[in-house]
Every structure is written in C-alpha cells, then in structure tokens.
Amino acid sequence: MFVVAATINLLIGLSVFGALAYGPTFVQGVIGSSATSSGIVMMPMAVSITIAALIGGQLIYHVGRFRWLGVFGVAVTVVGMFLFYRLDAGSSNFTVSLNMIIVGLGVGVIMPLYRTVAQNSSPQRLLGVATSTIQFVFSLGNTIGVAVVGSVVNSKLGGHLAANMPPEVKDNVPEATLKPLENPQTLLDPKRLAGVKEAFLSLGDGGSDLFGSAAGAMRSALAQSITDAFLLAFLVTLVALAISLFQREPARDEASAGVPIPSVALLATDPSAPDGTV
C-alpha cells in the first residue's frame, strides 16, 4: 500500500502542480489579465483543497474505508486536468477559476488520504519516516513537473507561433521587430509590450493593425503551448487513476494483526498504551 500511495503522490505532484505552475502565465499572457487578477483566479483552488480535505478526512474517520474515496479523488483531478487541456485563447478568468476548483476538490481528497494510507501501512516506529517520505516524493514530483512542463512549453512555442503568424505580418514586419514576441515574458510585462507596439507603430499607418495581429498570434501560440503541457499532465493523471485502482482495501480484522486502517490506527489510538494499540 505504501508504494501505491507514494507513486500516486509523485504523479499528482508531477502533473497537477507542475502544470498549474503555468496557470498564472496563461491568465496573464493569454487572457491578458493583470498579475493581481491571476492571483485571484488561482485562489479558489486553495479554498477547494481545504474544503475537500476536511470532508475527505471526516469520511475516512466515519467510514474507515479509503480505496474508492482515493479513486474518486484522482478521477476528479483527471476531469479537472482535461478541462485545463481544453482551454484556449478565448477562455475567461471564470473558466480558469472553475477548473481550479475542480482540480482542488480532487487534490484535497488525495493529499491527506494517501498520506494516511502510507502511515497506516508502516510500522508505528516508522510513522515519521513514512510521512516525510510521502512529502518528499510529492515535492520531488513538483520539481520534476515544473521542469518538464517548462521544456514542453518552450519547445512547442516557436512552432505554434510560426503557424499562427498571419502572412501579412511576416511580409511587412522586420524580423527584429517580431523577435521580442517570441519571448512569453513580453506578454506578461506591459512596459515591454508597449515598447513592441511602438516599434510596430513606427512602420506606418498599418502598424497598429499589424501589432494586433502579431500579438493575437502570440497569445494563441502561448495558449497552445501551455495546453500541450496540460495534455501531458492529463495523461499522467490517467496513469495515477489506473494505479489507484490497485490500492488494496484492508479488512477490518487487519488492525488486530498489526496492519491498521485509517479510522482505527491514527484516529483512535490509545496514547496510554505502550505499544500504540487501541
């Protein structure tokens, strides 16, 4: 059970938090919102994680079963990541926030549940080791995920930009003027974007229209690049869902054999017993 719990934590950390590290980039660069707005858009995920964790913890305590609750949490996360993959340049802040809530509900169930599974599948003297290992694996997934997602976005951006750039822009705008648009940070920095616009306006009467077309192409290219990364994250969460089906549900009498279950082992342990028995 510990291996399954650790693997799911690794995959969720890699996919969800790796991909959603580019959520603010999508909100600012593609939708065109401010940095403050991007923070507000991301906030609902934290709230939904908290609510789902509280409800999930109560269900574990009262029901004492976790297998299908874990499958449910991963499945909700899969749905959320699929919705992120479906985002495009026409998406709104509300849509992103709604997707954040859905992913948060899934992750809020997953994180405490599989930490409890790992603790309950380990000897009592190794509870600290089990807990820290699960947290380390989750953090490792985050780190790897951000690196992988960043590589995907950067490798796809150039091709998408070339495919989306209108012919009239390619024919009438010098390459040096277009060069700054190849950097996503240009869309995130209003001053830098204003400088690019000034360069377009210096081309003549049609400079404003050319800038609008070029900036629109860049937003579409960035959206496609980020959603390519979201697709990868969605596929990884599918793998996590398949693995969650292999999580074994301990029988009620396993607690007496030294293999406790969540509602008994950690939530109803008698602290006065020297060996931690109930």
213-254 pLDDT, tens digit each: 998 999 999 999 999 999 999 999 999 999 988 877 654 444
Is 68 part of any domain?
Answer: yes
- Count of domains for the chain: 1
Is 22 part of any domain?
Answer: yes
Is 184 part of any domain?
Answer: no
pTM of the model: 0.82
Is 254 part of any domain?
Answer: no
Give 171-210 pLDDT, tens digit per residue: 888 888 888 888 888 888 888 888 999 988 888 888 889 9
Range of the domain at 11: 2-157+220-249
Q: How many helices and strands in the chain, by DSSP H and E?
A: 13, 0
CB 19 within 8 A of CB 145: yes
122 contact partners, CB below 8 Å, separation of at least 6: 2, 129, 130
pLDDT of residue 261: 44
CB 221 within 8 A of CB 164: yes
Q: Residue 94 pLDDT > 90, yes or no? A: yes
Is 67 part of any domain?
Answer: yes
Is 195 part of any domain?
Answer: no
113 contact partners, CB below 8 Å, separation of at least 6: 56, 60, 66, 69, 70, 73
* Mean pLDDT (the chain, rounded): 84
CATH number at residue 92: 1.20.1250.20
Query: For tokens 């609510």, what's the residue?
Result: 51
Is 264 part of any domain?
Answer: no
Is 267 part of any domain?
Answer: no
